[in-house]
Amino acid sequence: MKKILLLLLSLIAIVVVFSFVDLSEFNESLASFSISTIFVVLCLFLFNAFIVIFRYWRMLGHFGYSVGFNDVVRASVSGNIASLLMVPLLGQVAGRHVVLNK
């Protein structure tokens, strides 16, 4: 039940966000970039996310916390989502804490 409610809340949030965005203007601005540029930027974002997650995983291990890599990935994603809803630093800490506290 909790997962269904979370999924429903996420879908509602996506619909609300896209109701404020003019998709035709977004498509026009996106078309002004080459596919290779978009691909490079996407790869850099993914590489940065991997480096952040790997560094956090290694830091937890260094301080004696044996946490699986998948759990650290979930904690980092949760922190990124939480940082969208509140002050970014506080959101990162709170989001990671919620996942890693379990």
Domain borders along the chain are: 1-32, 46-102
**72, 60 Cβ separation under 8 angstroms:** yes
**Residue 46: per-residue pLDDT:** 94
**52, 44 Cβ separation under 8 angstroms:** no
In the block, tokens 């940082």 appear at 83
**Residue 45: per-residue pLDDT:** 93
**Residue 102: per-residue pLDDT:** 73
d(CA 50, CA 7): 25
Q: Which helix (H) or strand (E) holds 67?
A: none
Each residue's pLDDT, cut to its tens digit, for the chain (102 residues) gives 877 888 888 889 888 888 888 888 878 888 889 999 999 999 999 999 999 999 999 998 999 988 999 999 998 888 888 887 777 778 788 888 888 887
